[in-house]
Structure 1
Amino acid sequence: MSSTLSRRRLLGLAGGAALALTPLGCGGGDGASTFSQPKGEVPKQYAKRQRVVVWYPYTGVPADAFTRLVGRFNESQQDIYLEAQFQGTYDEVAQKLAAGLQARQIPDLCVFSEVTWHKFHLNDTLEPLTGYFDNGFSPAEYVDSLIAEGTVKNEVWWVPFGRSTPLFYYNRDMFAKAGLPDRGPKTWDELREWGPALQRVSVGGRAPKLHAYPQVDGDWMFQGAVWQWGGNYSKGMDVTIDAGGAVAAGEWQRRLIHVDKLAYMAKSPRVDFTNGLIATLQDSTGVLGALDKEAKFAYGAAFLPEQQAFGCPTGGGGLAVLAGPPKERKRAAFEFIRFAAKPENAAQWSIDTGYLPSTKAAQQTPQMLKLFTDRPGYKIAVDQLPKTQAQDPVRLLVPNANKSIYGGLQKIYADNQPAQQVFSSVAEELRKSAESVRDAVARHS
């Protein structure tokens, strides 16, 4: 198969408007003569081992945890040295990988988001993984719904690692002062009803706001709201964000900000929450570890509020092996996937970060069961997982769909533009972009 990467395909892989479809390499093939590794140094004590490179997007608490996990893997090995190279955000990892494919210099293993892995799968740059599993390590060890998201046509391409869902967090101290129950609201309308009571609470001489919406990347959180109001971003690849529940959810949030004056758009809602500027927060399970360190007050965690129905999307990351490297490096890279899925390792990664335990056995380890008792928020995240679902296809598969959606949300949050007007424009953008991948999606589905 052809391994020529055109500029058009590079733009598609990096998140541009078009995805060309000439394959970059044959899954399962041997790219030994075509792709080199990124530069790096192997410590002297590991000099005779097979070097493997993984690119990752983590910062802060997750970065420290990932570094420790990689270190434990290297200490457990005699034949493999894994070098972890930070490459920026999920999107930046994807952009740099696209550039690396053009330069024929790529890592062996990569941490992709739930969005970015699809771009590389549609361009045949990922290694099919089913044949690497064996009697000692099966895909069935992962949480069923999570491994299913990385499986296409019964072939595993992307395994869960650092997966998350949104949770609802609330300041228990503020709730107590306001005379509110120590729980999350059952519906978003109930939360709005609690607003006046919370506005009477004084924090540093000022009343806190009820809630804040993110300036960027809010499209993931808003996916849940769309379902809660009975809508969808899309039905299959057919865009529906400009109708029904999506518009209703957007209007509800617009009114909370601009009519009720109970919310606002923030650069970092999490920072404002930990600083006592807002009483409630919707954010990833992956911030649990950070909230434990940053919050100077007692906080609670709850399922997302409902409206017409419950709705909560899965998100976060996963590991995939690149198709281009030679077979021995791909086999070595898979050994880290195997290591990370061991119950004690998967559990420790979750404990350190707040990400969901991605394997069934990890949820039952003594350290995880203790954490569920000591820090109930972690148990809430696991309990909510069976009620979650994968995001609508248009956000996962259409280039720049996330940017189009959160760009629209910015107009609602900051500029008070009506949701129908905004989402009609967003839908037009999405429909045009969807055509660039519709045939590829059909072939890979």
Structure 2
Amino acid sequence: MSVEIDPERVLKPMRETGSAFFIATGVIGLGLLVFLEAWIHQITFGVGAVTGIGDWGISGGVPWGLYIGGFVWWIGVAHGGIAISAAVRVINIDRYRPIARIAEVLTVLALGVAAFNIVLSMGRPDRIFNTIVQWPFTVHHSPLAWDIAVISLYLVLTLTYMTLSLRAEISGLRDHLPKWFGPLYAVITLGYTEREDEKIEQILWWLAVAILALVPLLSGGVVPWLFSLIAAQPAWYGAAAGAAMLTESLTSALAIVVIATAAFRYTYDWHDIIEDRIFLDLTIALAFLALATAWFTMHDILTGAYIAPVNIGALTGGMLTLPFFWLAIAGLVIAIVGLFVMIGWSDRFFSVPALCALSAMLGITILNKKVMFVVEGLMYPTQPPLTNLYPTGSYSPTFVEWILFLGTILMVVFGFLMLSKMIPMIELEPEEVKRTALPDGGDETGGDH
């Protein structure tokens, strides 16, 4: 069923800016200044001095922590975000069109901050440059070199996908868009003619198919494969590792899409464009994804606790004593129960704010699981004689690490604020664009605008 969208409602946030926007920008700007100060502090004194990250082995440290856990989390969010948008186009589910571009924008921003988490983990920004320049050599011994390649591939695909989908809209709405972004619009519409519309739509459909094929390959394949090949650390390999990581990626991505979509709906009064039924459908999808995440978590516990190899048994036993693990379990259980209650008794218990709260809980829970996944795999030495020589590692994120990671979240929010002023956050159909582009906004006979 086609969704009728008033283009003027979609374009209004781009042309009108209220005090709330400036207040939000100012608050986020202050947060980013704190982030910048913390980053300069880390660069000045070194990663080892200001973080809980340490040397592995006889030093009893853990070389990866919150930054790499955050990287894995953001990569999963990016993969899931673009999968949502691609699925809307491939399956042609027009009723979900209002959330498609929000998911695309989330993907671009998430890929950017995922790459930035690698920079934070490396310590100095120039190291990422050296890794890229010397990629043919670093790829043989650095898993982060592969991560950079994966991010680059997905970023090119996503930017191409989003740019192609914007060309006709920007060209048709050029006179209705902010003038100061003219150079950006000129780049997006370079060489555009209406004759390309049909061909572009075909290209977008095939790009969406390619993206949907790559999501399980990358999020459920390459990323877990890279971990599983690093010294065969406990918890980094297993038959269900890829499927578990893919499920968690889709869960966290859908949770953040829910929050972002609700924020746009509330801020710009798009209640009739992004209807409750869309959120109810997202609730159903999120509930079953969360249930699958819980199932894979139970799978890890059972296989690690029942007559497991020594190193995996030690890891599982240690994990069961961590408060963070039980916080993750509590988050999953509460979210699953809450989501299914809203599904079963939607007329009484369903509400968008409650869905956002449960989505935030799921997002934090999966971030917690990602960090534990990274850290626990490095805490326990695997191969003899290392098990006799190396002590169990230890790690606890410092205040600086938390500030820098929270800074990446602020970057994404700031990116949404800025992009909402540059491009329509809801994709418009060609007929809607043409209707808006007419001199009187809809009468083909002409008139004053």
The structure where strand makes up a greater share of residues is 1
In the superposition, the TM-score normalised over structure 1's length comes to: 0.26
Query: Larger Cα Rg: Structure 1 or Structure 2?
Result: 2
